[in-house]
Structure 1
Amino acid sequence: MARSHFTLAALSTAAVPGADIVSTRPIGTGTQGRYDSAVVTLRDRNELIVRVPTSQDAETEQSRDLVALNALTAGFRGRLPFDVPHVEGQTPVANTRAIVYSYIPGSPAVLAELDAADPVAESIGRAIASIHSLPTSLVTDSGLPVQTAADAARLARITKDRAAATGAVPSDLLARWSTALEDSALWQFQPTVVHGSLSPDSFLLAANSVSGVLGWSQLQVGDPASDLFWLSSAPSEQLATRVFGAYNLGRSTPVDRQLRKRARLYAELEIAKWLLHGTEKHDETIIADAKTMLAGLSVSVESDMLNPLSTDTGQIMAVEEVEEMLRRTPRTDPSSARDSTRVSGISED
């Protein structure tokens, strides 16, 4: 049974001694969520969010998130153009613990609601660039994972080989992935600090910009493309190009011209991972769903020559081209932008 927001408010007073709570409200997805969550309002009008994991997986994720948030000291946070949750306190409850965080105003981004003319697209690109520009000492000094370019290629190859062993992946996709994995030029990149689990709802939006980024449990050094693969599901190519363009402008390092191709490969391998998940769980519904997605992907890449994974075709925009594209693209009037009322300070998955 899900804990009520009144129970969670009581837990927050134990986690944060002296907290003077005047009201509370529920958030999240109730019994279907991975966390029981609530927002509490203090007498000084500040707000906090309290979460209690409802499964072992969620508890493990929350523990990793705590390590990452503690690693993000004030100095590192000062380099970011958005807020990151602060851990305000914790208290044991049953066989787990309740964690209280600072509350960040904003609404989770919805990819289908964004378009290429939306200034939020640029803000998202700059937000990702700022994460990737953090010093790698943030990760190494905290004992968080470090992945080399060779590691990234090896892990992608393992996913491809395991998916191939199921016999459910179309041969043309296996050939496409093998070509990319064997292309050494594709894997010549400089690892950076990466969020590790970015998706549209990781970004909180307010006033036409990113106000906060959530879900830091996979913080590590790795392939920057792993934070951008979700853009392959963007409602338009123009939107993805705008985010990548703002990202490239936000980086102080030379443009990684294979970034978008690796991001595309990771997006395709996500379907392979879904297939493997279904296979491991012996879930025929998931397996059937993955097979349908793979069949659709096979048709899509066969007919779409704009998304090659090899490095000998296609071009990524140079910085000068990006600047010109951004200059020509019309901006929306902020006064007409959609309402960005805050839904949740912490992603509920």
Structure 2
Amino acid sequence: MARPPLTLAALATAAVAGLEVRAARAHSRGTGGAFDAVELHSTDGRHLLIRAPRSQTAESEQSSDLVALRALTPGIRSRLPFAVPQFVGQAPIGPTRAVVTEFIPGAGRTADELTGSDELAADVGRAIAAIHALPSGFIGDAGLPRRSAGDAREAAVAIIDRASDTGRLPAALVRRWEEATDDDTLWRFAPTVVNGQLGADSFLVDGNRVTGVIGWSGLGHDDPAHDLHWVLTSTGASAERTLGAYLEARAGGADAEIARRALLYGELELARWLLHGVDTHDDEVVDDAVGLLDGLVASVHDHSSESLTTDTGPVLAVADVERMLDETPREGLPKESGATMLTDSYDVSELRRHLADDGAAGGDERGLTAPIPLDLSDWGDAAPEAAGTSPDAAGGSGTRDRSA
């Protein structure tokens, strides 16, 4: 049951010494979200947000987010061209806790809206580049995860191997993905600071400017392609402008294969979906995943036979994902995507976390549509111009015996 706004407003006064609330309203775009959230205005002019998780999954996410926000010191934040939530206080509520942060103004937008105009698309690209340009020392100091290029490659291999072991992965996809993970050039990159869960719902905007980035529970040192996946899956008219602005802002720091890896990660989402169904013994999810994987095989075949190409390659339909989530909710699963502050909306980033979690439970997180992917074998010449990293940036060959 949702907690009343006045209850959370009163709790905020216990969480923040001296706080006097003059106005409070539910911070919501729908019902059934992961958090109860209330926007607060204090008598001294402060604008705050209090959130209380509704589930164990949401509580775990909130705890990880707090660790990340504390790691983002004032010095680190000063390097970012946008605001990051600032922790203010917390108070227990039942078996969990409510957390108060400074409220960041700005509106949520879909992926297609964020990449729909040149000006906003470019600002989004620069915002992502600013995250990846942060000095990485604070990651280790805060005990946040660090993963090398070799680790990223091995993680992709592990997903492919597990999905293949189910016996439900089409052989054409096994070969396709193994060729990608066996390609040494694809994994020659230098890890950067990453948000780790970046998606369209992460951004708050005002006009054509990014005002804030929220949802930092995946903060770490990893493959920057993870933060760009959603850009390459957007169908916005200026999606290429986002990637171009990102590469320009990185000033040669991005490797030439970053877009190719991002697209590979997008395809592996379907393998994760299959594994989620298998791990939770949900035959409906398994059947859905098999259908999507078959659709991916057909899309690859059609793309190859029709020679469809663009500067950045074909894309995943994120807007379709959001629409299908709206159309096919289950009890307890939020309907809406893209809500400000990720309060009580379900977003694609959260879906990815659930699919990556071996023991994930929850509703029927349906809505993935099969991508029309780029032919990975042809990406060597099509990748954006960018400076590469030294060969030893990638660890291990990742080669497997394909004799079977």
TM-score band by shorter chain is 0.7 to 0.9
Structure 2 equivalent of residue 340 of structure 1? none
Supply the AA of the counterpart residue of 2:80.
L
Deviations 1:182-210 (A, max 9, x none): 00110000000000001101111112111
Supply the AA of the counterpart residue of 1:290.
A
Supply the AA of the counterpart residue of 1:225.
A
User: Equivalents in 1 of 2:7, 2:25: separation in Å?
Assistant: 11
User: Equivalents in 1 of 2:30, 2:291: separation in Å?
Assistant: 31
Q: What is the aligned residue count?
A: 319
Structure 1 equivalent of residue 117 of structure 2? 117
User: Equivalents in 2 of 1:319, 1:184: separation in Å?
Assistant: 17
Aligned partner (choices 371, 375, 399) of residue 308 of structure 1 = 375
Structure 1 equivalent of residue 226 of structure 2? 226
User: Equivalents in 2 of 1:95, 1:117: separation in Å?
Assistant: 45
In the TM superposition, residue 53 of structure 1 has moved relative to its aligned partner by 0.9
User: Equivalents in 2 of 1:231, 1:291: separation in Å?
Assistant: 25
Structure 2 equivalent of residue 298 of structure 1? 297
1:1-349 → structure 2 map (5 Å cutoff): 1-28=1-28, 32-236=32-236, 239-305=238-304, 306=309, 307-310=374-377, 313-318=380-385
Deviations 1:274-322 (A, max 9, x none): 11111111112222222222222222222225322237643223369xx
- Determine if contact 1:185/1:311 at 8 Å carries over to the other structure: no
User: Equivalents in 2 of 1:118, 1:102: separation in Å?
Assistant: 30
Change (3 A) 1:239 1:295: farther
User: Equivalents in 1 of 2:278, 2:47: separation in Å?
Assistant: 43
In the TM superposition, residue 266 of structure 1 has moved relative to its aligned partner by 0.4
Q: TM-score, normalised to structure 1's length?
A: 0.87
- Determine if contact 1:24/1:38 at 8 Å carries over to the other structure: yes
Give 5+ residue unaligned stretches, structure 2.
310-373, 388-404
- Determine if contact 1:47/1:102 at 8 Å carries over to the other structure: yes
Aligned CA RMSD, in angstroms, stands at 1.8
In the TM superposition, residue 109 of structure 1 has moved relative to its aligned partner by 2.1
In the TM superposition, residue 99 of structure 1 has moved relative to its aligned partner by 0.3
User: Equivalents in 2 of 1:126, 1:114: separation in Å?
Assistant: 13
User: Equivalents in 1 of 2:84, 2:384: separation in Å?
Assistant: 31
User: Equivalents in 1 of 2:63, 2:115: separation in Å?
Assistant: 35
- Determine if contact 1:203/1:210 at 8 Å carries over to the other structure: yes
Change (3 A) 1:36 1:11: same
Structure 1 equivalent of residue 342 of structure 2? none
Q: TM-score, normalised to structure 2's length?
A: 0.76
Change (3 A) 1:231 1:30: closer
User: Equivalents in 2 of 1:299, 1:26: separation in Å?
Assistant: 45
Give 5+ residue unaligned stretches, structure 1.
321-349
Deviations 1:193-232 (A, max 9, x none): 0000011011111121111001101100000001111223
Q: Percent identity of the aligned residues?
A: 45
User: Equivalents in 2 of 1:314, 1:32: separation in Å?
Assistant: 46
Supply the AA of the counterpart residue of 2:256.
R
Change (3 A) 1:319 1:141: same
User: Equivalents in 2 of 1:239, 1:187: separation in Å?
Assistant: 27
